[in-house]
Amino acid sequence: MSPTNWDRFRLSRLGPDNRYVIHYAHRSREGFRSDPCAAGRPLDLVPLDGVHSAAYVDVVAAGLDTAFAFYRRHLPGLTDRLPRPLHVYLLNLNSGADGLTWGLPSGPEIWLRNRYEEAAGPLVASKIKATCAHELFHAHQAVCCPASLDGRRPWAWWGEATATCMEGQIDPSNTEFLAFLYARLDTPGVSTRNALRGYGDVLLCEFLLERVGLEGILETWTRTPHPRDPAEAIDAALARHGIPFGSTHGPDFFGSQFSLALYSPDDPNFGFRTHGALYASKPGRAFVSGVHEMGAGSLEFSSREWLLGLSADYNLVVVDKGLASVAMHIECDGDIEGAGGSPPVKGVVVQVDGAGVRVADPTEIALAEAPTGISPARVDAHPIYRGSAIIPIAPRTEELLVVIVNPTYGDRERACYKYRVTVV
């Protein structure tokens, strides 16, 4: 393995004002093989293709021009701190990645795919532009937080969530980023802090964007001193709006708002204001951990595995019609590995009366004869403390959505829970 000989890359394009330079492997037959999430810059270049196309470089340059104009307008201080020119290499990224940004001692450097075709499907112009927007935001992140490019560090997931969000901000007609949603919707119980799922956490970023605006999102990166953890920066952005990011006591952004919005994304009362219908292509009912039908008696639920910080478990309890009342007893053990103090889980119970619960997929009609949506008045957040609690449930309740959330963001605050629903 020998170090990359960058001289072999022919200079293809110098951007306006020397902002960037695109290096194109005109005659090179090189590509590279590496885990894009691994720390460090891969140097295991392998021979692969000799593809080259001047039109392709034009598309990349147009994508960079658009993205640069956006960041210069919104983040002028960071844009000015980028290397000038910023080096952009078009390479055979045969790992399947569309782009990568490296934080080098000399400053960030961007690698993009050098061809349209890829095993995972053709790369279209809109995708190239989205990738330029995404990677250029990573380059800006690297200026204020070099560690954000390391997948093992606390800022990595927020780096991916916000870089993905910027794709849609720079070009609102571009919905490429929606392809990442299932990374989030398919695994609600996986912690938000999981860097590999960061792309899907564009959902959380969008939900936050609707409340704090683009400026609030960008401030999470530009705040000084730079917080150790992005959750602290998000908390600060939300502070002006009077709600904490995560809290086991009282309403919080993650547990009381975002976790419920995931279940009913297109509900105007507590879903997403924009793109809600698109998110709703994943029916809320489909991602609950379990649907439990029960008559009179008791049913007990417990966590199947540790509930890590910033994650939620969803269980839907469907009660036989005609039964008079439901009581819910909750016992909870939490803070098993935390530093002590308040328990790291809270329960959010959504009560649905006989009118039915709104479901996005019309084939899921079991209890949706008269869809009405879940109004905020019917959503109660009950903090659950260690020990047991009885949560009052309205008479004639037919469905209970029980969301157990760990809204904490400490490194070690994983939790387990147990609860029991009794129907009499």
Residue ranges that bind Zn ion, judged by CB under 5 A: 160, 163
Nearer to Zn ion, 166 or 421 (CB): 166
Q: How far is the CB of 220 from Zn ion (least distance, A)?
A: 16
C-alpha to C-alpha distance for 36 and 134, rounded to whole angstroms: 15
Q: For tokens 């994943």, what's the residue?
A: 282
Nearer to Zn ion, 97 or 360 (CB): 97
Nearer to Zn ion, 160 or 206 (CB): 160
Rounded-to-5 percentages of helix, strand, coil across the chain: 30, 25, 45
Q: How far is the CB of 131 from Zn ion (least distance, A)?
A: 9
With 0-12 CB in 10 A as exposed, 13-18 as middle and 19+ as buried, what is 366? middle
Q: How many CB atoms are closer than 10 A to CB 373? A: 18
C-alpha to C-alpha distance for 238 and 256, rounded to whole angstroms: 14
Nearer to Zn ion, 201 or 252 (CB): 201
C-alpha to C-alpha distance for 145 and 148, rounded to whole angstroms: 6
Q: How far is the CB of 157 from Zn ion (least distance, A)?
A: 10
Nearer to Zn ion, 163 or 348 (CB): 163
Nearer to Zn ion, 160 or 171 (CB): 160
Between the alpha carbon of residue 71 and those of residues 10, 63, 64, the distances in Å are 27, 12, 10
Q: What angle do CA 294, 295, 301 make, to 5 degrees?
A: 35
Q: How far is the CB of 245 from Zn ion (least distance, A)?
A: 22
| CB-based contact 275:157 (threshold 8 Å) | no
Q: How far is the CB of 102 from Zn ion (least distance, A)?
A: 12
Nearer to Zn ion, 38 or 296 (CB): 38
Q: How far is the CB of 352 from Zn ion (least distance, A)?
A: 38
| CB-based contact 137:68 (threshold 8 Å) | no
Q: How far is the CB of 134 from Zn ion (least distance, A)?
A: 5
Nearer to Zn ion, 148 or 289 (CB): 148
C-alpha to C-alpha distance for 195 and 308, rounded to whole angstroms: 14
Tokens of 310: 């910033």
Q: What is the amino acid identity at position 227?
A: P
Q: How far is the CB of 162 from Zn ion (least distance, A)?
A: 9
H runs (alpha helix) in 106-201:
125-144, 156-170, 181-185
Between the alpha carbon of residue 130 and those of residues 14, 63, 176, the distances in Å are 20, 8, 7
C-alpha to C-alpha distance for 314 and 316, rounded to whole angstroms: 7
C-alpha to C-alpha distance for 5 and 28, rounded to whole angstroms: 10
Q: How far is the CB of 199 from Zn ion (least distance, A)?
A: 7
Nearer to Zn ion, 12 or 148 (CB): 148
